[in-house]
Structure 1
Amino acid sequence: MSSIADNIGSVTRRIQKATLDAGRAPDSVGLLAVSKTRSPADLRQAITAGQRAFGENYLQEALDKIEALREIPDIEWHFIGPIQSNKTRQIANSFAWVHSVDRLKIARRLSEQRDRSLPPLNICLQVNVDRETSKSGCDLDELPALTKAIAELPGLSLRGLMAIPDPAQSADELRLSFRKLATALNDLKTRYPDAGPLDSLSMGMSGDLELAIAEGATWVRIGTALFGSRPAKS
C-alpha cells in the first residue's frame, strides 16, 4: 500500500505535468491537502514529505489539529467548508485562507473579527458555478456586486474564486465549469482592478485536477489521492 509520502510525490508529479502541458509556470499551482477526518499523525506524515498547506472543512476538528501541530511554525491552514455566522471569529483568527465565502454578511464578520495584528485574511468567493441546489456558493451574476462590497472591507485580501463542480459531469462539462470560473475571475480583474490581488482559482480535486489546471487553477484541493479513502463515519 502506498504511503502518504508516496502519494504526495505522485500527485505532485501529476500537477507538474499538467502545468507543463498547459504551458504555465512550474510554480503556478499549489497543492492544498484536504485533511478533514484525518488525524494529526497523518498530517505529520504529509508534513515530513514536504506538504505545508492543509484544507479543513470542520472548525472544531481543525482547531484540534492546529493545536496538536502548533510547534510546526510554517503550516498554512485553509478553511474550505461551509461557514456558520457564529463560527466566524475563530475562523477569522485561526486560518490564513478562507475559500468558502459566499455572502457579504460572512465577509463582514470575518473583516470585523480578524485580529489587526495578523496579516489580512486571504479569501476566495465560493461560486455555485453549476447552480446546484445542494451546493453552497453565490451565483455568477452576484459576483460583481459582492466583489465591489468586499473590496472595501479592512482585514481581508480578496484573492479569487472557488468552486466545487459536480464530479458526476463528463470531462467536457467539467472543463466548461472550470472555464466559467476562470472567465468570471478575468472579468472581475477588468472591472475591479483595485479590489484585491484576484490571482487565485481554487478548483480541481483528485479526479479532475488536470482539467482544472488546464483551465487556470492555482490551488487544487486533493484529499483521497493523498490520504486514501476517508474512513466511514461512526
Structure 2
Amino acid sequence: MTISIVIPWILGLTGGIGSGKSAAAQHFLSLGIDHVDADHAARWVVKPGQPALTSIAAYFGDDVLLPDGQLNRAALRTLIFGAPEKRRWLEALLHPLISEEIRSHLARAQSPYVILVSPLLIELGQYKMTQRILVIDAPQSLQIQRTMQRDGASEQQVHEILQAQSSRKDRLNHADDVLVNDQDLSWLHGEVERLHYFYLTLRRD
C-alpha cells in the first residue's frame, strides 16, 4: 500500500504596522494552522550562545551586550544608524541565518498549509519561500491610530516606521490575496475563516 504524504504549501502573511497581521495570524493558528514568525527567528539567532551574537560582539564591541549577555538592541540600532557599511555587514551576517531558521521550522509544519508571518516579507525577499501571499491592508490613518493606541507611540514615530517599511503599493503588487482590515475583530475573524476554507482546497504545486 502506498502512503500519500501531502507536503504543506506555504502562505506568506504580511502587512504594514497596525494593519492587524498579528491578529489575523493568531486566528489562523486557532484554526489549527501552523505558523512561523520571522521576528521570533530573528530574535533566536542572536540569543546568548549563538555564533551570530559572538560575531556581533566581536565586530561592534561589548557595548552591544547587556549585563546578562543578551543583545542590547537599542545600542546596536544606535551604532548602525547612519552607518550603511555597518548595517550591510549586520544584514549579511543575520539574513542567511534567519532564513535558515525559518526554513527549518517551515519544514516541520504538520497542518495542510503553513504560514510565514513577516512584516518584512517583501523587503527581505522572504516571499520567495512561499507559494502564495496574503497582505493584511488598512488605511494609513487607521494604521497610525492603532499603533499609537497599542504602543503609546507619537504620530511622528509611527510615520517614521511606515516610511522604513515596504510601501503599501509594493506589498499589494506582490499580493495574491488582500484582506482590508478596516472593521472590528469579529469581522476580521470571519474574513480569516473565509480565506482559510479556500486555502484548504489548495495544494502545493
- The structure richer in helix per residue is 2
Shared fold (TM-score greater than 0.5)?
no
Structure with the larger RCO, 1 or 2 (CA within 8 Å, 6+ apart): 2
TM-score, normalising length: structure 1: 0.27
TM-score, normalising length: structure 2: 0.29
Larger-Rg structure: 2
- The structure richer in strand per residue is 1
